[in-house]
C-alpha cells in the first residue's frame, strides 16, 4: 500500500540540522515520529560556547546568580558554595524527575527532547556543547527516556518530564531502546557508545526549564489535525450527497458574505468533492431560464452549516499554528543568557500561550466531532435519511445495521465534550507559593492528544455510514466522493447482513488517519485544502 502524500512529505525529511533557528512542524514530526537524525551545526556550537563562557565567568562570583549559585524555586535565596554547585545541578535533576503514572508515548518524548536540544543550540542557555551532543546522540540512537503522565504543572515549563530526559542523559533512570525494550539508561548509553553527560553550573536547570513537552504535543496535534480537517470535509461531502442534501449553500458568493478564511476553504472543498454528482443532479430542476436549481431547501444544520463549523475549526487551527511557530522561535530558560552577555531571570517558561492554544483546539475538536456524529445519526433514522433503510440495515429487524456504530460515535463525542473543558483556567500553587500561578499546559496537551484520536474515530464512523448510504443510492456519486468510497471499499465491504463491525471501524479509521481517504479524493478532484 502506498504511503499517503502528507506522510511522504514528512518522512522525506531524514535529517535535521540544528542551528538554533526555529524548527518547522514537519521537522519536529520527522524526528519525533519517523526517526529523522539530527546534528548541531558549527554555528550552534559556537553560540553555545559563547554563552557558556558567560556562565563560567559567573561561576565563582560571590554575588548570587539564580541557578548558578543559588537554590531553586522557593530556595532561590539559598546561597550555594562554589564547591557544591555541580552537585546542585545533579541534585536538581534527580529530585525533579518525580513523574508518576503511565509512560508517555515515544513520539512525545522525542519531540520534547528535540525541542529542548534546539533551544540549547540557540546559545541562550549556557549549556556546554558536549552536554547538548548527548541529547543529539540519544535521539539518533533511538534511546527514549521513560517519561510519566503526571508531574508537570506547565510552569516552570515541563519540569518533571524534562527532568526524566535529563536524568537519562546523565546515565540514571530508564530508557526505551531502539526495539522498545525498557533498560537502565547507563546500560543503554554504554551499548550505544554514548558517554553520559556530567552536569556543571546551570546545566541541570537549563535542561529542564522549558515548555517543550506541551509544545511538542501541540506540534504533533497540528500536523494530525491539518489532515483530519480535510478528511472531515470529505466525510461531510459524502454525507451531503448520500442524504440528498443541497450544495447550493456552499456557493462561493454566499460564503464570501462572511469572509472567514476557514469557511471559504471548507466550502471550496465541498464544491470540488460534489462536482459532477449524478446523485446531486437527481434532485435538481431546470427553471424556465435554463438554470438548474436544487429542490432541497433548508437542509439540517449539520449539512448546510458544515463549512461554517469546519471552517471555524480551521481558523482555530491556524491561530494555534501561529502560537506554535512563535514558540518554536523562542529560547526559553530561566535565567537566560542574553545576546549582550547578561544572565537574567525572566518568566518566559510560563506555559499560558501554549496552554490556551491547546485548550482552544480541544474545543474545536469536540465541536467538529459533534457535527460529524449528527450527520451519522441522520443516516440511521428512517424519518430523516431520505428513503434509506432503517439503520442502513440489510434486513431491518433481523439486522441492526450501523445502529451501535452511532452509539460508539456518541460515546466518543460525549468524552470529547468533557475533554474540551479547559485545563489552562486551573492553577494549583506550588513550591511554597513561589510558583503561585501555573499554566497546566501539559494537562491541556495530554487531553488534546486523546481528543484528536477521538475525532478521527468519529469521522471514520461517519465515513463508514456515508459509504454504505452511497452504495444504496440509485445514482452515481461525484468523482471525488466515489474515489473516497473506493478507498473505503478496499478495507471494508459494502452493504449486507450484519457482521462483526469493530474491525471495519478500525480499518476505516486507518484509511482516515493515514491519509488514504483524502489522497483518493484529491487524486480525483485535484486540490483540496
- Nearest to 208, CA basis, from 164, 269, 146: 164
pLDDT at 4: 47
**How far is the C-alpha of 427 from the C-alpha of 351, rounded, in Å?**
12
Are 10 and 26 spatial neighbours (Cβ–Cβ below 8 Å)? yes
Cis status of the peptide bond prior to 156, with omega within 30 of 0: yes
- Nearest to 235, CA basis, from 512, 474, 515, 492: 512
Residue 286: pLDDT over 90: no
Residue 290: pLDDT over 70: no
Residue 60: pLDDT over 60: yes
What would the mean pLDDT of 80-94 be, rounded to a whole number?
Answer: 80
What would the mean pLDDT of 443-447 be, rounded to a whole number?
Answer: 96
Q: Where in the sequence numbering do the catalytic residues fall?
A: 66
Q: Where are the domains of the chain?
A: 5-210, 219-328+366-431+440-525
At 2, the pLDDT band (50, 70, 90 cuts) reads very low
Domain made up of 5-210: CATH architecture: Orthogonal Bundle (1.10)
What would the mean pLDDT of 428-441 be, rounded to a whole number?
Answer: 81
Maximum separation of any 2 CA atoms in the chain, in Å:
94
**How far is the C-alpha of 250 from the C-alpha of 266, rounded, in Å?**
9
pLDDT, tens digit, 9 for 90 and up, residues 226-279: 999 999 999 999 999 999 999 999 999 999 999 999 999 999 999 999 999 999
Residue 128: pLDDT over 70: yes
pLDDT at 72: 62
**How far is the C-alpha of 403 from the C-alpha of 414, rounded, in Å?**
17
Residue 484: pLDDT over 80: yes
Least confident of 73-82, 162-171, 175-184, 431-440: 73-82
pLDDT at 3: 43
The neighbour count for residue 355, using CB atoms within 10 Å, is: 29
Question: What stretch of H or E contains 284?
Answer: strand 284-286
Mean pLDDT (the chain) is: 92
In CATH terms, 219-328+366-431+440-525 corresponds, of 1.20.200.10, 3.40.50.300, 2.40.50.140, 3.30.420.40, to 1.20.200.10
At 191, the pLDDT band (50, 70, 90 cuts) reads very high
**How far is the C-alpha of 76 from the C-alpha of 87, rounded, in Å?**
16
Q: What's the DSSP call for residue 498? A: -
Residue 172: pLDDT over 60: yes
pLDDT, tens digit, 9 for 90 and up, residues 396-434: 999 999 999 999 999 999 999 999 999 999 888 887 777
Alpha helix positions (H), 384-477: 403-419, 441-472
| Cell numbers linked to 443 | 494537562
At 7, the pLDDT band (50, 70, 90 cuts) reads low
The neighbour count for residue 139, using CB atoms within 10 Å, is: 22
pLDDT at 77: 66
Strand bridging mode 174-176 / 284-286: unpaired
pTM: 0.94
Amino acid at each position: 500500500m502506498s504511503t499517503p502524500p502528507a506522510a511522504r512529505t514528512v518522512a522525506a525529511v531524514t535529517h535535521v540540522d540544528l542551528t538554533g533557528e526555529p524548527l518547522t512542524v514537519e521537522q519536529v514530526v520527522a524526528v519525533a515520529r519517523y526517526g529523522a537524525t539530527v546534528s548541531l551545526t558549527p554555528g550552534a556550537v559556537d553560540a553555545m560556547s559563547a554563552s557558556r563562557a558567560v556562565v563560567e565567568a559567573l561561576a565563582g562570583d560571590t554575588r548570587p546568580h539564580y541557578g548558578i549559585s543559588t537554590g531553586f524555586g522557593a530556595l532561590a535565596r539559598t546561597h550555594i558554595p562554589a564547591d557544591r554547585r555541580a552537585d546542585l545541578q545533579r541534585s536538581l535533576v534527580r529530585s525533579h524527575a518525580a513523574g508518576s503514572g503511565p509512560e508517555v508515548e515515544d513520539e512525545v518524548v522525542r519531540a520534547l527532547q528535540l525541542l529542548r536540544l534546539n533551544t540549547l543550540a540557540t546559545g541562550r542557555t549556557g549549556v556546554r556543547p558536549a552536554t547538548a551532543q548527548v541529547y543529539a546522540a540519544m535521539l539518533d540512537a533511538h534511546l527514549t527516556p521513560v517519561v510519566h503522565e503526571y508531574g508537570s504543572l506547565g510552569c516552570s515549563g515541563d519540569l518533571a518530564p524534562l527532568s526524566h530526559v535529563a536524568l537519562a542523559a546523565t546515565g540514571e533512570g530508564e530508557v526505551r531502546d531502539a526495539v522498545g525494550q525498557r533498560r537502565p539508561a547507563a546500560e543503554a548509553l554504554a551499548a550505544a557508545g554514548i558517554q553520559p553527560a556530567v552536569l556543571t553550573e546551570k546545566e541541570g536547570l537549563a535542561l529542564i526549564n522549558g515548555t517543550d513537552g506541551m509544545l511538542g504535543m501541540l506540534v504533533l496535534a497540528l500536523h494530525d489535525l491539518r489532515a483530519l480537517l480535510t478528511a472531515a470535509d470529505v466525510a461531510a461531502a459524502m454525507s451531503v450527497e448520500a442524504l440528498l442534501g443541497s450544495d447550493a449553500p456552499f456557493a462561493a458568493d454566499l460564503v464570501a458574505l462572511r469572509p472567514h478564511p476557514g469557511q471559504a476553504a471548507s466550502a471550496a472543498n465541498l464544491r470540488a468533492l460534489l462536482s459532477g454528482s449524478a446523485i446531486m443532479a437527481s434532485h435538481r430542476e431546470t427553471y424556465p431560464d435554463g438554470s438548474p436549481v436544487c429542490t432541497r431547501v433548508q437542509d439540517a444544520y449539520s449539512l448546510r452549516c458544515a463549512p461554517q463549523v469546519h471552517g471555524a475549526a480551521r481558523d482555530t487551527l491556524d491561530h494555534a499554528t501561529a502560537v506554535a511557530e512563535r514558540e518554536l522561535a523562542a529560547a526559553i530558560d530561566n535565567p537566560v543568557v542574553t545576546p549582550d552577555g547578561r544572565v537574567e531571570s525572566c518568566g518566559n517558561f510560563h506555559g499560558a500561550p501554549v496552554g490556551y492554544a491547546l485548550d482552544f483546539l480541544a474545543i474545536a475538536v469536540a465541536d467538529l466531532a459533534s457535527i460529524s456524529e449528527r450527520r451519522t445519526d441522520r443516516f440511521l433514522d428512517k424519518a430523516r435519511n431520505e428513503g434509506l433503510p432503517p439503520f442502513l440495515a440489510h434486513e431491518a429487524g433481523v439486522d441492526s445495521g450501523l445502529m451501535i456504530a452511532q452509539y460508539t460515535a456518541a460515546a466518543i463525542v460525549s468524552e470529547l465534550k468533557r475533554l474540551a473543558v479547559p485545563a489552562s483556567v486551573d492553577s494549583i500553587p506550588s513550591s511554597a507559593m513561589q510558583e503561585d500561578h501555573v499554566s497546566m499546559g501539559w494537562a491541556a496537551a495530554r487531553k488534546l492528544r486523546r481528543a484528536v484520536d477521538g475525532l478521527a474515530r468519529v469521522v471514520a464512523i461517519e465515513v463508514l455510514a456515508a459509504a454504505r448510504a452511497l452504495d444504496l443510492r440509485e445514482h452515481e456519486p461525484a468523482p471525488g466522493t466515489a474515489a473516497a468510497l473506493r478507498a473505503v471499499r478496499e478495507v471494508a465491504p459494502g452493504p449486507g447482513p450484519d457482521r462483526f463491525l469493530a474491525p471495519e471501524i478500525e480499518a476505516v479509521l486507518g484509511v482516515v488517519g493515514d491519509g488514504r481517504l483524502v489522497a483518493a479524493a484529491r487524486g480525483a478532484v485535484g486540490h483540496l485544502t
